[in-house]
Amino acid sequence: MAKKKKRSAEFSRGDRVIATNRKAYHDYFIVDTLEAGLVLKGSEIKSIRAGRVNLRDSYVVFRNGEAWLIGSHIAGYDQASYQDHDPRRDRKLLMHKKEIDRWRGRAEQKGFTVVPLKLYLKNNRAKVEIALAKGKRLYDKREAIAKRDAERQLQRTLKKVRW
């Protein structure tokens, strides 16, 4: 009998990551994360299921006691006829009122912002993982790149030694 592969506790069998904001990991230190739902139109969810999403340069703002995802791009759906959505429209995030107040207070501190990390389907519902992030300085980015390159070189060396 074949051994079953263990899955992380974060995702269950029916979950699927659609898009990841890799630039956020490069530009920010991630302090805290939270899962939030999205208010979408029918053509948007179909486009998400097709994987036509880009989270680069998107961020979260808090207006009138609500959280909004700004700057994300969900491509138009070809079969949506004339009722297709605007790919760059602002999308409301579904969060509890206490969470919104807590995250707004933390985001208003100097140097902090809220950015989306990944968009995924969980039980056939679109969810976005948002993060409280602190901006990296240029020397922090250089240090992270140097550390990653050193780790990669070490792995190459170990691989050669094993053979």
Of 22, 56, 27, the C-alpha closest to 137 is 27
For the segment 68-83, the average pLDDT, to the nearest whole number, is 80
Q: Is residue 145 part of a domain?
A: no
pLDDT value at residue 80: 65
Confidence of residue 6 (pLDDT cuts 50, 70, 90): very low
pLDDT tens figures, 93-147: 999 999 999 999 988 888 899 999 999 999 888 899 999 998 888 877 888 889 8
Query: Is residue 148 in a domain?
Result: no
We report the CATH number of the domain holding residue 34 as 2.40.280.10
Domain-embedded: residue 93 = yes
- Do 146 and 59 contact (CB within 8 A), yes or no? no
Question: Residue holding tokens 């890799």?
Answer: 22
Residue of 94, 44, 89, 53 lying closest to 70 (CA atoms)? 89
Answer yes or no: is pLDDT of 148 > 60.
yes
pLDDT of residue 100: 92
In a domain, 57, yes or no: yes
> Which residues, including other chains, have CB under 8 Å from residue 111's CB and lie 6 or more apart?
134, 135
State the chain's mean pLDDT as an integer.
84
Please tell me the distance from the alpha carbon of residue 118 to that of residue 131, in angstroms, as a whole number: 10
Q: Is residue 7 part of a domain?
A: no
Domain count for the chain: 1
3-state secondary structure of 30: strand
Of residues 159 and 4, more confidence is placed in 159
Stretch (H or E) spanning 42: helix 42-49
Question: E strand or H helix at 141, and its extent?
Answer: helix 138-162
Radius of gyration, alpha carbons of the chain = 19
Parent domain of 43: 16-136
Asked whether residue 69 is assigned to any structural domain, the reply reads: yes
Query: Which residues are bridge partners to 29 per DSSP?
Result: 134
Q: What is the pLDDT of residue 78?
A: 72
37-65 per-position pLDDT tens digit: 999 888 888 888 888 888 888 999 999 99
Q: Is residue 87 part of a domain?
A: yes
In a domain, residue 113? The reply is yes
pLDDT digits (tens, 9 = 90+) for 7-21: 444 555 568 888 888
C-alpha 110/C-alpha 132 separation (Å) is 12
- On the question of pLDDT at 163 being above 80, the answer is no
Residue 12, SS3 per DSSP: coil
